[in-house]
Chains A and B, each alone.
Chain A
């Protein structure tokens, strides 16, 4: 197996055995990027020199007996909506072209402290609004399994990089499925942790009450390594969880025997591709065979979750994106008055999907409409939380497809926002509830496109969630890697 295909765990073993250096791992990832970027466009920025410097330091530290843990010397990528001091951060928006943050996001700082080597910043849908990475102002990313298709989104760049090997793992952000859906479409593991467990300080906000940072990786164990490096209470984030944290990596080998698994009735049927449904049912059967008690569970509010999400998220976004006014940083439009300067800055700086959501959100919060839209959506959100609570009285975890479909063709849904929004139908409820959920690749369809399996757990239920996810990974035995045909020779 070549270096760029290793998991973090495997790379760590070789690193500590002295067989490879961090610099070797980095060069393997950089070589991979050089070979594939022209086709995939996973990255917006690759910080070759910075990464090489960090890798050299990681090697020197290890030689001196200083070991920062599982991520020590491991090349990782960051979605470009997380601030990196001194490295351009744009959230894939024209409005932040050339913006260089003066500070590190908490996750950036934590990854650095864990000894990770930051390769670069990955592409996303502008301000994380989208499910295909086609809404990037800097060009679409493509799926390594079929470069005519999208890698999903909004963390499509991170997913593509991890799948193709130009990073060993990456961070994404998940507001309605933006980690799990692209993970599913690219055949990698994607995790959205419990809301509040990973600091949002330095994450360019989309919808503050839903946004959560999490890892994309090539194994469930790697996801646990990443999670345990980045989470924890952060005094800089007032919504950060201050209590005790679970220890998911300790439970990876515990299996599912005796576990109660609920299959969500509402996340199946019309709109779900047969190959996806078949693969998911097969995995459910395997879980049952492995000793889990499987039951079908109905969460009726899931049917209206998407509608509630598309009021709450744009409403928060309309305020979160108000700071991009051209006054202090980023793109500035021409204008003789402050009003025209701001209006032109925003008209020129925001792409069509961002504009659509800002308008939608502004409308939903307007006097006279607030109760009917935003207020109503908040009630639905509470109802979804109650539905989840009821379900977790009888099961330990809930399972479903991660995405109703496999990767779709580039451009296929760009003229139909509603079809695009439906990509997130399975993932949104966990965001509305603030619960953790993970996507694990379980197989390929007949077109050789990956299918993802979602495991959801109650708030702070990461341990049980990882326990099931690890079992799913083993039962699936998914070991395929994408091959870019042009590179096959």
Chain B
């Protein structure tokens, strides 16, 4: 039997607001434990939450960027459960009226683009962080647990996809593209390694062509896009193996073990947990007026998908458009300026995703400190077009520009990379080379065309690579034929 995998992704995005969701404490990664806390985020008796307006604007921006509808009115709920790092014994979250709903994200895998539905994006607060001491950090046999409430109350947006994803590669593409959107907005640091963006996958399988959904397994603890893809792939294979061996799948949560490359059962869900959701009485319903939504919409930056479409419209091939679109904003700004200066789109893009990106990586330079302007890059393209430098010499010119040696023309001159395009100068070199290689001249006369290549090489060497190869070729043939 052929199996189809059905995957939904839940993404938790920690917003990079200055203060927490319901109090004034700073949002700061890596601070001394329990220093960014107050009565509200510690759940002290009598403390009350006050919502962070900026966080609401961020979730609206995320929703709009993911083509969601923004609810006119949205309500906070209490999600009740006991846990040591949940200070109030409930999490302020949302239940039936999230801020954003019904959106989508188009993802492309192997040239095929598919639309992944987004069910909702809702606002909630993060919990504190438990660190279990002893027995390898696993909760059940730990000797003690340390609690850090710095993270408690950090604004969190949960984006829930529809079960529209069909492969591990697609799951990865969805996660990467969603991260790119959030990063582009500036809504979050979106750093997987710091946990400021986290992905859980709901995986099930069903016979190809079937309508219903199979038993759902939630997979957690993937801390890179690669591990997300591997974990989903593993889980699909595991489920197929179980079912094909006549076994039955259990609805459960499984933990991805990166080192072993397998998923382990964490806890079995007996039906759905009863969180006893009810309207948060400490908070009034939020009203997102049309004018407020418009204000947020107008402030949205160009998003990766829009940008890629624009680059394609401007004549870049899909791959090049994609790579450039995903490049740092500083690199993309250079593209826009250089193109505005009249330089050819493709050549500028190729320089940027090729040599410039390679230089950034090699020298470990932060893109914000990239010492290159759009005008300079346009000039570089121009001097190649004008034949001032050869394509190969242009790479050295770029190197010089990046090292702060001046404009491309200045660097070409200073590094002595200007092509010799002066006919009489080249004629002189050609004459010398022909005089030094009488055997080759004889061979040519005997009809051996291929010695031309050898002679061109000799001229280029004699000119230290600076002679215009086209001219050299032309002049050589003239001389040999005369």
Contact = CB atoms under 8 A, between A and B. Distances in A.
Interface of A: 81-83, 89, 91, 96, 99, 101-103, 105, 200-205, 207-209, 235-239, 315-316, 318-319, 321-325, 327-329, 338-339, 342, 362, 365-367, 370, 374
Given A366-B274, A374-B278, A319 B48 contact: no
Contacts of A91: 45
A236 B48 contact: yes
Given A319-B80, A323-B88, 17 more contacts: A83-B45, A96-B45, A202-B47, A207-B281, A236-B48, A238-B48, A239-B283, A318-B80, A319-B278, A324-B45, A327-B87, A338-B83, A338-B145, A365-B276, A365-B277, A365-B278, A370-B276
B49 A238 contact: yes
Contacts, number: 104
B87 A209 contact: no
B292 interface: no
25 contacts: A81-B46, A89-B45, A101-B44, A101-B46, A102-B44, A235-B50, A236-B48, A237-B50, A238-B48, A238-B284, A239-B282, A316-B281, A318-B276, A319-B78, A319-B88, A319-B89, A319-B276, A319-B278, A322-B89, A322-B90, A327-B87, A328-B42, A365-B277, A365-B278, A366-B274
Given A235-B50, A238-B50, A209 B281 contact: yes
Contacts of A89: 45
Interface string B258-296: 000000000000001010111001111000000000000
Given A102-B39, A322-B88, A322-B89, A365 B80 contact: yes
A238 B286 CA distance: 11
B89 A208 contact: no
Interface string B34-54: 000001001111111111000
A433 to B, nearest CB: 15
Given A323-B89, A325-B82, A327-B84, A200 B48 contact: yes
B43 A328 contact: yes
Contacts of A235: 50
A239 to B, nearest CB: 6
Interface of B: 39, 42-51, 78, 80, 82-84, 87-90, 145, 147, 272, 274, 276-278, 281-284
Contacts of B276: 318-319, 362, 365-367, 370
Contacts of B274: 366-367
Contacts of B272: 367
Contact of B283 (A99, A204, A238, A339): A238
A329 B49 contact: no
A325 B48 CA distance: 18
Given A237-B48, A322-B88, A366-B274, A208 B43 contact: no
Contacts of B278: 315-316, 319, 365, 370, 374
Q: Which of A239, A339, A362 has the most CB of B within 10 A?
A: A239
Contacts of A365: 80, 276-278
Contacts of A236: 48, 50
Contacts of B50: 235-238
B82 A322 contact: yes
B43 A204 contact: no
Contacts of B78: 319
A414 B146 CA distance: 42
A362 B278 CA distance: 11
Nearest to A208: B281
A117 B361 CA distance: 68
Given A103-B39, A322-B88, A205 B46 contact: yes
Contact of B87 (A81, A101, A315, A328): A328
Contacts of A203: 46
Contact of A204 (B46, B90, B284): B46
Contact of A201 (B43, B48, B284): B48
A327 B84 CA distance: 7
A82 B47 CA distance: 11
B284 A239 contact: yes
A327 B144 CA distance: 13
A59 B87 CA distance: 43
Q: Which of B42, B89, B277 has the most CB of A within 10 A?
A: B89
A95 B42 CA distance: 17
B45 A325 contact: no
Contacts of B51: 238
B39 A208 contact: no
A83 B46 contact: yes
A315 B277 CA distance: 11
Contacts of B147: 327
Contacts of B90: 319, 322
